[in-house]
């Protein structure tokens, strides 16, 4: 993860670069604000590192200032990095998977709405205890495993808070990926069907037979349309730039249109659960 010191240096580098380009273009702060469609106080806060501009704001200012291509690309890339947090999954395990679960739980506690997309794995909030144990046991043992499972259980309490709006989209592949004995999978699917009856929980399933208009490359979670978290094989990332959040929102909306919900989703869950029963 980028250290606070490195983050501050990069933020100041971005601010100084934009200020120097404005001065080189011969614009006052007021004139730059007018040309960019921003307020003068916003320009001042950006240039004094009191406000982190979105990548879109930085791109607008770079066009206004006529930035040379090298500076244009460098400052735009820097803005994107500042809006993205990276943390190695090895570091997460070393510091404690339970700690990571508590961090996500804090996001869920602060958010009013949350959207979860899962392509190949049952989302953490929907996992049974046995399914979750098998997931965490891929990397953890002993007390570390027990602490992670306890933290996962604490996270699941959010499902029963009616002040929250929680939406899940799973592919049929995520349901059929046999991550354990058939009875474990059958129990897991029936558990999802039960959770789908909660008033504040929406569970959609994209069946294999559905035609889709988008192709997400990974699982992700969106909180209040302000922040996106993504977990890949070796790294976990957090995106806050509005354009990144919007892009993930469009992916979610595209799959939401193709998803079965309510009784249709529960019927598919029951069908697949019975197919797992037949494997015993």
What are the backbone angles phi and psi of residue 233, rounded to the nearest 5°? Answer: -60, -40
- Residues 11 and 113 occupy one common structural domain: no
Q: Which of 82, 99, 129 is the last residue of a domain?
A: 82
Contact between 29 and 40 (Cβ < 8 Å): yes
| 3-class DSSP state of 237 | strand
Q: Which of 67, 82, 97 is the last residue of a domain?
A: 82
Quote the pLDDT of residue 54. 85
Quote the pLDDT of residue 91. 67
Compute mean pLDDT per 10 residues along the chain, 280 residues long, and list them: 65 93 95 95 91 88 95 89 72 74 87 95 95 92 92 93 96 95 96 97 97 93 92 83 91 97 98 92
Quote the pLDDT of residue 237. 84
Quote the pLDDT of residue 6. 72
- Residues 18 and 157 occupy one common structural domain: no
CATH (domain of 20)? 1.10.260.40
Q: Which helix (H) or strand (E) holds 82?
A: helix 69-82
* Domain assignment of residue 186, given as a range: 85-279
- Residues 174 and 206 occupy one common structural domain: yes
- Residues 65 and 197 occupy one common structural domain: no
DSSP labels for 185-229? HHHHHHHHHHHTTSTTEEEEEE-TT---S----S-EEEETTTEEE
- Residues 248 and 114 occupy one common structural domain: yes
Residues 95 and 204: their CA atoms lie apart, in Å, by 34
Q: Which of 53, 82, 111 is the last residue of a domain?
A: 82
Q: Which helix (H) or strand (E) holds 236?
A: strand 235-239
- Residues 39 and 97 occupy one common structural domain: no
CATH (domain of 248)? 3.30.870
Quote the pLDDT of residue 100. 81
Number of helices (H) and strands (E), helices first, in the chain? 13, 7
- Residues 37 and 61 occupy one common structural domain: yes
State how many domains the chain has: 2
> Beta strand pairing status for 201-206 and 165-171?
parallel
Please state the pTM of the whole predicted model.
Answer: 0.76
Quote the pLDDT of residue 55. 84
- Residues 106 and 212 occupy one common structural domain: yes
Q: Which helix (H) or strand (E) holds 167?
A: strand 165-171
- Residues 103 and 46 occupy one common structural domain: no
- Residues 152 and 268 occupy one common structural domain: yes
Quote the pLDDT of residue 81. 78
- Residues 268 and 167 occupy one common structural domain: yes
Quote the pLDDT of residue 99. 82
- Residues 47 and 98 occupy one common structural domain: no
């Amino acid at each position: 993860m980028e250290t606070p010191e490195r983050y501050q240096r990069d933020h100041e580098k971005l601010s100084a670069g934009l200020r120097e380009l404005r001065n080189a273009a011969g614009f006052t702060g007021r004139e730059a604000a007018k040309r960019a469609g921003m307020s003068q106080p916003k320009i001042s806060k950006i240039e004094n590192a009191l406000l982190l501009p979105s990548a879109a704001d930085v791109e607008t200012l770079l066009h206004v200032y006529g930035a040379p291509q090298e500076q244009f690309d460098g400052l735009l890339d820097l803005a994107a990095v500042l809006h993205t947090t990276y943390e190695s999954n090895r570091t997460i395990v070393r510091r404690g998977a339970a700690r990571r679960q508590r961090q996500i739980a804090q996001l869920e506690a602060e958010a009013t709405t949350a959207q979860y997309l899962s392509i190949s794995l049952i989302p953490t909030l929907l996992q049974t205890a046995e399914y979750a144990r098998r997931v965490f046991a891929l990397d953890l043992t002993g007390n570390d495993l027990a602490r992670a499972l306890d933290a996962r259980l604490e996270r699941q309490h959010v499902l029963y808070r009616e002040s929250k709006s929680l939406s899940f989209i799973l592919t049929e592949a995520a349901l059929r990926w046999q991550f354990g004995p058939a009875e474990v999978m059958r129990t897991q699917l029936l558990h999802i069907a039960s959770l789908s009856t909660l008033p504040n929980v929406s569970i959609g399933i994209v069946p294999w037979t559905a035609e889709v208009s988008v192709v997400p490359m990974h699982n992700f979670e969106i909180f209040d349309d302000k922040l996106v978290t993504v977990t890949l094989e070796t790294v976990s990332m957090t995106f806050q730039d509005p354009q990144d959040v919007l892009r993930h929102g469009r992916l979610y909306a595209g799959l939401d249109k193709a998803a079965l919900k309510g009784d249709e989703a529960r019927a598919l869950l029951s069908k697949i659960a019975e197919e797992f029963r037949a494997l015993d």
